[in-house]
Amino acid sequence: MAHRIIGRKKELEQLSSALNSDKAELVAVYGRRRIGKTYLVKEFSTSVR
């Protein structure tokens, strides 16, 4: 079953931009608990493999 991330286009674009940057980048993902921070990063990492 394929999962889709809904409503996180801006965050995914920011992660993609940092990954494709020519400079060294540090990305901090923070926010309230149980809003999907880990899920967002895991899904992003599998999508760029």
Mean pLDDT of 29-43: 95
pLDDT in tens, 5-33: 889 999 999 999 999 999 999 999 999 99
What pLDDT band is residue 2 in, cutting at 50, 70 and 90? low
Cα distances (Å, whole numbers) of residue 8 to 19, 26, 32:
17, 19, 15
The angle formed by the CA atoms of residues 9, 27 and 40, to the nearest 5 degrees, is 40
Instruction: Please give the pLDDT value at position 4.
Output: 78
Instruction: Please give the pLDDT value at position 1.
Output: 54
